[in-house]
Amino acid sequence: MLEDGTRLEGVSFGAPVGIQGEVVFTTGMVGYPESLTDPSYRGQILVSTFPLAGNYGVPDRGVTDALGFPKFFESGNIQASGFICQDYSYKYSHWNAKSSLASWLKEEGVPGIHGENGRTAAQAVTAALLPVGSPRACPPSARPTLSLQASTPAH
């Protein structure tokens, strides 16, 4: 639920915990492992406007490049405090996948929900910003926040 009372509902597929946090969104078409591990999203609830997540799973988190940095991620663990997407694929398929997005979120204690249209959520967040200014000009205390409550997953 946004501070203004806007309710975003969905089905839990991550860690069964409740959180509160600043809502941000990504318009990238692919790359949820990279987005979730991007330090710029640390502590924020990330809304994906791309309609599908989880379909290609999550690569091996132990693989590093020649310099010792994670090869398939922006950092060593999930930085976002929550994840919202329109549709979550419970079955993943990719040559590089080692686990599902849901299991990764659970391992790192991050809740995820699906069933909410990411574009609609982004519009709700943007509408909540309109009274206080653009996202860049908005003071941290005036940014929209979301309470995310996990429930028993459908699957």
Confidence bin at 103 (pLDDT 50/70/90)? very high
Query: Hey, where are the domains in the chain?
Result: 11-148
User: Average pLDDT, stretch 125-137?
Assistant: 51
Candidate CATH numbers 3.40.309.10, 3.20.20.70, 3.30.70.890, 3.50.30.20; the one for domain 11-148: 3.50.30.20
List of residues 6+ apart from 107 with CB closer than 8 A? none
**Chain position carrying tokens 């659970």:** 106
Q: Which residue has the higher pLDDT, 43 or 132?
A: 43
User: Average pLDDT, stretch 110-138?
Assistant: 63
**Chain position carrying tokens 């994906």:** 48
Model confidence pTM above 0.85 = no
Residue 102 Cα distances to 83, 87, 118, 136, angstroms: 10, 12, 18, 32
**22-36, 58-72, 107-121: segment of lowest average pLDDT:** 107-121
